[in-house]
Every structure is written in structure tokens, then in C-alpha cells.
Amino acid sequence: MTREHEIVDLADGIATVAERLGSAGDAASLRDELVRVRTGATVVVVGEKKRGKSSLINALVGRAGLLPVEADVATTVHLVVRHAAEPNAIAFTEEHPDGIPIGLDDLPAYASLDPVTGRVRRGGVRSVEVGVPSDLLASGLMLIDTPGVGGLVAGHAAITMATLHAADALMFVVNGSGELTASECRFLQRATERIATVIFVLTQTDKYPSWRDTLAANRELLARHAPRYADAPWFAASARKAGAGGRHLADSGVPELADALQARVAGRADELRSDNLLQSAYIVARRLVDQYEVRLRALAGDEELVRSTERQRAGLLELQAADAAWRRQLADHFKKLDGQLRLTYQRLAADLRDAADYRVLHADPYELATLADDLDAGMRGIWMQLESTIEQNLAELAGQLAWAFDEQGVDALSRTIAYPERLRDLPPLVIGDNTGAPLTPIHMVERYGPGMSIAFALGHIVLSSVNPLLLLGLGGFIGHSIHKQRAAREHAAQARVEAQRFVQSVFRELGTEVPVAVSQALEERITLFDGALSAKLAARRGELEQTLAESAAARNISAAELAQARTEAEQRLALVRPLLERCLRLLSYPAAPHALTSGVQ
């Protein structure tokens, strides 16, 4: 049995004993931790659109055509690929937040753009989970395929950045066509704040013969712009070779990448999560052992125990006071967090506004038609980052307050913060088009008059013998060309005006809704924290009162009753003490670290 498996088995045993001894809360907490350990590692796959992310994931799991390659440019939709005994898919939408089963053939409809219109095929889709049998994923490893993060797709980058908080590793995908772009370098600079483990993959090596030169140039760029990743591993891969009936799998680079993900990412994540599980299991076992050792001392009439318990009770009374230090610390922490969130929101909103304004000025009307989708992605990305900041800060606060309560402190009370309703129902961006308007005589003169004038002037000056009908045709052609160019300019100008109005309305709603929603979320959480801490103090006080009561009762019960109570406590202690000893033994032998080396020499 491996160390990780032994830890899982031990934690499961401690949870079972805790339930049997009436510690339902400890048992539930351990079982939640067990679920997280068994979930496995999460790898977020990132890259600019059309870098081959989806094709690479298909090759890694051995299912050519599983994910639609159009998902590389899908708006806001994350595709989570996990292990399953039978292929299946679940779509998480605004209408079905808990998920709705869909067929694998329906993936393009839920997770990619319409190739004709460039718009999302189905609105309100936030993520899709895909389950397939796969050796790579069998250990619990999950791959998350994200939308493109480069160029003008600032909204996608914001959402992807927010997902990195929950990831164990980042797989950054480029191809052999050229060096890292400025937007890719900027993203990596920001990603250094979120995640430590990054694996780089250069795809489409079969398509670009000079990919080795590109890889060398990329390493040099990383050393200059993101030095933290200068020594990160690179893997070269060809999804096309891997999918060619398996004939070229060995030299496709995909098996080496799969081995690295399994051994260096999934394995390391398993160790870290197992260590966290072991620590939680130790705390529960230690508490149970202490509980029954104290009970035996109380039944034995230990006077020192009584004095110690009374001192602890007095300390708890101070902690339960309205002006206790932890309450001031709680208020101060939330005040600082509120200021941090406001500053974070202002910066993120300013970045998104700059990207939107740039797009309005430089994009053509066709590209502006997708502005609404990208702004929606950007707003959700801002919301996800604010939500992530809140949850991280609450987790830190829970640890800081542990001194006042016990080794476990208090749960961080993590829960989803509802996305503001008004931001879900923004009006669509409608760009008008006057090309289909009926032609009146005045319009005819405006459209063809200048061309006719030019044609007949030319005929009079240099082509006096030309047939008038030919001049008429030439004039019509010139007039139509002039009109078409003018109409295109007017349409572009009109589209920019309408897009700018739309951007202004979106950011007006964003500035109104988000600060209020965040403040409400903080108020709700400070109330929940206060309630949870107060309940924990009350529970601890109850334990102390019970110890004092047992000590007093031990003086007044018969010898037979006392012996029975002591036997029961000894039997329960015998259940948990061996489990605590196993925890201590495993804590004495931590797992050996893994080295993370490059896959391309």
C-alpha cells in the first residue's frame, strides 16, 4: 500500500470512529477532505485561440474529435474533461446551474461559436463537463480547456486567470508558427501570482519544421519577461501524429507529455492533498484521544484537571464577550478586505474598459458584433476574481483566528456569491445597417450623380467620340463604387457610435451593481463568521462544563457506576489511540519531493 493510499484508509477509519463516538461534525469535515483528495489534480490548459489546445487534449485522452476545435474561440465556456466508465457530458447553464446531461454530439452546440455568424450558438452556458474512459485521467486528473486568452479577448483572459486559484498546474500551449506574443507574455507575468507549476507545450510540430528554433526563442523570451518560468519544462507534441491511427504515436511527443502530467503534476498534487488530509485526520484523532483522556481524569477526581478546566472556562467567557479581541480582528480584516476588493475591482474594470474602447476604435462592424459576448465574459471574469479574492481571504482569516479556538480554527464558510441579476440581462448590442433602405429619386441622384458627372467630364475632355451609353454605364459604376465606400465608412462610424453607447451602458451597470453586490456579500460573510465562531466557543464551553460536571459527579456515584463509566471511556480511547499513533508515524515520514524537468532537451 502506498503512503497516499494508507493516509486515505486511515482518514476513512478515523471518520468512521468519529461518527460512532458521536463527533458527527469532525466526521463530516474529514469526509469532505476525502472527497477533495479523491478528486485528483486539476490542470488548466491555456493559450491563444487556434493554438491547438482542444486537439491536444483529444490526443492526450486518446479520443480524436472529442472536443470541438472551435472551442478554442468559444466565449466564456470551460470544458472540463474527467474520467468516466462510460462517455457522457453535462452542461452547466444559467437555466440549469446544477447541470443537464447532453450527448457528446451536442458539444459543438454548447461549447463553440457558429462558424458563419461568429456568435455563441447557445447562450447562458458557463461550463461543460465531459467524462470519458482514459488511462491518463483514471487517477482523478482533470483537464480544463479554456477559451483563447490572447489578442482582444480580454474577457476570456480574466475568467481563465480566476480559474488558476483552484488549479494544481497550468499547461500553456503555443504552436510552432512563431514566438510568444506580447499578450501571451503579459498573461504569464500575471499568472506568476496565481500558480507555481507550469508546463509549456509547443504543438503542431508536424506543420512547422522550424519549431525547434521557435522553442529556443520562446525560452529566451520567458527568461526576459517571465523569469520565474525560465526553467519550466517544455514538451513538443503533434496531435495529428498521435491521432493517425496510432502509427506515429511514439514520435508524436504526446506520450511523454501524458507521463509528465501523471507523474509530475497528478503525483505531486496527490502528495500535497494527502498531507493536508493527514493533518486533518491527526487533529480529529488528537481531539478524540484528548476527550477520553480528560474524561478518565475527571472520573478519577483529578483536582488539577478541575483547576485547569475552570481557568479555560474563564478564558472562554472573555472570548465570548462582545468586545473580545477576535471580534475586533474580524471587523478590521473585513474592512481591509473591502478596500482591497474595491481597488481590485477598479483596476480590473479599467483594464476591461481600455480593451473595449480599443476594440471600438479599431474593429470593423463585423468584429464589433461580438463585443457584447466578450464584455459579458470580461464582467464574469471580474466577478470570479473578486469572488476568489474573498474566499482566499476568508481562508486566511480562518487560520489567523485558530489561536482563539483550537487547532482547526473555524471553517472558511466558502460558498458561491450570486452574480448580479441585472448584469445577466444586459440589452443586446444592435448595430444598424442602412444598406437595405429603399431608393428614392433623391437617393438615386446622390448615389449615381457624382459618378455620372465624372464619366461625362472625362468623355468630354478625352473621349469625345465614345458612345453615350458606355459613358452612362461607366458613370453608374463609378457612382456605385463611391457610394459603396462612403456607405461602408458611414456604417463603420455608426457601428462605433452604437458600440460606444453600449460600452457606456455596460460599465454604468457594472459600476452600479458590482460594488453593492460585493459589499452585501461581505456583510453576509462577516455575519456567518461571527455566528460560526460564537457557536464554536459555545460548544467548547459546553465541553468544559461537561468535564466539571463529570468531576463533580464522580464524587457522588457508586463504585460500580464509576467503574462502568471508566471502562466505557477506556474502550473508546482504545479505539482512537491506535489511529492517532498511525497518524504520528506517517507524519514522521513525509513524501519525497519530485523533480520537475523539461521534456525537450
Supply the pLDDT for residue 102.
Answer: 92
Q: Is pLDDT of 591 > 50?
A: no
Model pLDDT for residues 140-182, shown as the tens digit of each residue: 888 988 876 554 345 566 667 766 766 778 899 998 888 888 7
Higher-confidence residue of 593 and 432: namely 432
Supply the pLDDT for residue 95.
Answer: 80
Half-sphere exposure of 583 (CA within 13 A, CB side): 23
Supply the pLDDT for residue 94.
Answer: 77
Q: Is residue 322 helix, strand or coil?
A: coil
d(CA 199, CA 222) in angstroms, rounded, equals 13
**Residue 409 pLDDT level (bands cut at 50, 70, 90):** very low
**Residue 217 pLDDT level (bands cut at 50, 70, 90):** very high
Supply the pLDDT for residue 593.
Answer: 43
Q: Is pLDDT of 117 > 70?
A: no
Q: Is pLDDT of 5 > 90?
A: no
Contact yes or no for 174/184 (Cβ under 8 A): yes
Element (DSSP H or E) covering residue 185: helix 182-191
**Quick one: average pLDDT of 554-577?**
86
**Residue 89 pLDDT level (bands cut at 50, 70, 90):** very high
What proportion of the chain, given as a percentage, has pLDDT over 70?
Answer: 77
**Quick one: average pLDDT of 83-94?**
89
Tell me the three-class secondary structure of 330-363, residue by residue: HHHHHHHHHHHHHHHHHHHHHHHHHHHHHHHHHC
**Quick one: average pLDDT of 321-332?**
74
Q: Count CB-CB contacts under 10 A for residue 508.
A: 10
Contact yes or no for 233/197 (Cβ under 8 A): no
DSSP labels for 56-97? HHHHHTT-TTSS-GGGGG-SS-EEEEEE-SS-EEEEEESS-T
Higher-confidence residue of 264 and 361: namely 361
For the CA atoms of 360, 363, 366, 371, what is the dihedral angle to 10 degrees?
A: -40
**Residue 211 pLDDT level (bands cut at 50, 70, 90):** very high
Q: Is pLDDT of 115 > 70?
A: no
Contacts of 204 by beta carbon, 8 Å cutoff, 6+ apart: 52, 175, 176, 177, 211, 238, 239, 240
In degrees and rounded to multiples of 5, residue 136 shows phi and psi of -65, -40
When computed from its CA atoms, the radius of gyration of the chain, rounded to whole angstroms, is 33
Supply the pLDDT for residue 408.
Answer: 46
Q: Is the pTM of this model over 0.75?
A: no
Q: Is residue 559 helix, strand or coil?
A: helix
Closest to 147 measured CA to CA, from 42, 261, 50: 50
Contacts of 523 by beta carbon, 8 Å cutoff, 6+ apart: none
Q: Is pLDDT of 218 > 70?
A: yes
Q: Is pLDDT of 469 > 60?
A: no
d(CA 118, CA 365) in angstroms, rounded, equals 12
Q: Is pLDDT of 601 > 50?
A: no
Average pLDDT, the chain: 78
Supply the pLDDT for residue 438.
Answer: 54
The H helix count followed by the E strand count for the chain is 18, 9
Per the listing, cell 462582545 goes with 322
Q: Count CB-CB contacts under 10 A for residue 175.
A: 21
Supply the pLDDT for residue 200.
Answer: 93
Q: Is pLDDT of 375 > 60?
A: yes
**Residue 133 pLDDT level (bands cut at 50, 70, 90):** very high
Q: Is pLDDT of 126 > 50?
A: yes
Higher-confidence residue of 461 and 61: namely 61
Contact yes or no for 120/373 (Cβ under 8 A): yes
